[in-house]
Amino acid sequence: MRGFIASSIGVACAAALSLPLALSSGVGAATTPSAARALTAGAISGSTQSLPLSVLPRDRGLRAPGEQGLTQRDVHPFSLVGVVWDDPAAALEGSVQVRTRATGTARWSGWQELETHNGDHAPDPGTAEHDSGRLRGSTAPLWVGASDGVEVRVRPQAAPAHQAAANSPAQASLPKGLRLELVDPGDEPPPGGAPAEGPRTGALTAESAAASAVNADLAPLGADAVPALGKKETESELIEARGGEADAKVSPYIGPRPRIVTRKGWGADETLRERTFVYTTKVKAAFVHHSATGNNYTCSQAPSLIRGIYRYHVKSLGWRDIGYNFLVDKCGNIYEGRAGGVAKPVKGAHTLGFNTNSMGVAVLGTFGTSKPSAAAVKGLARLAAWKLGLYGVNPSGKTYLTSAGGNLYRKGKSVRLNVISGHRDGYATECPGRLLYNKLGTARSTSASLQGR
Q: Determine which of 3-7, 330-334, 405-409 has the lowest per-residue pLDDT on average.
A: 3-7
pTM value is: 0.87
Mean pLDDT of 283-288: 98
Give the residue, 264 or 65, on which the prediction is more confident.
Answer: 264
Compute how many other C-beta atoms are within 10 angstroms of the C-beta atom of residue 89: 11
What was the pLDDT predicted at 160? Answer: 57
Q: Is the pLDDT of residue 38 over 80?
A: no
Question: 3-state DSSP helix/strand/coil percent for the chain, to nearest 5?
Answer: 25, 25, 55
Q: Is the pLDDT of residue 275 over 70?
A: yes
Burial string for 171-188 (b: 16+ CB within 10 Å, else e) reads bbebbeebbbbbbbbbee
**Average pLDDT over the chain, rounded to whole?**
86
pLDDT in tens, 160-193: 555 555 555 556 789 999 999 999 999 877 665 4
Based on its alpha-carbon atoms, the radius of gyration of the chain, rounded to whole angstroms, reads 22
Mean pLDDT of 42-62: 79
CA angle 129, 204, 350 (to 5 degrees): 25
Mean pLDDT of 345-360: 95
Q: Is the pLDDT of residue 247 over 70?
A: no
Closest C-alpha to 86, from 19, 175, 161, 149:
175
Mean pLDDT of 25-51: 50
Q: Is the pLDDT of residue 331 over 80?
A: yes
pLDDT in tens, 63-113: 777 899 999 999 999 999 999 999 998 999 999 999 999 999 999 999 999
Q: Which CATH superfamily is domain 225-450 in?
A: Peptidoglycan recognition protein-like (3.40.80.10)
Q: Is the pLDDT of residue 375 over 60?
A: yes
What was the pLDDT predicted at 277? Answer: 97
Burial class (CB in 10 A: 0-12, 13-18, 19+), 279: middle
**Domains of the chain by residue range:** 33-184, 225-450
| Confidence category of residue 12, pLDDT binned at 50, 70, 90 | very low
What was the pLDDT predicted at 14? Answer: 42
What was the pLDDT predicted at 60? Answer: 58
CA angle 258, 332, 365 (to 5 degrees): 135
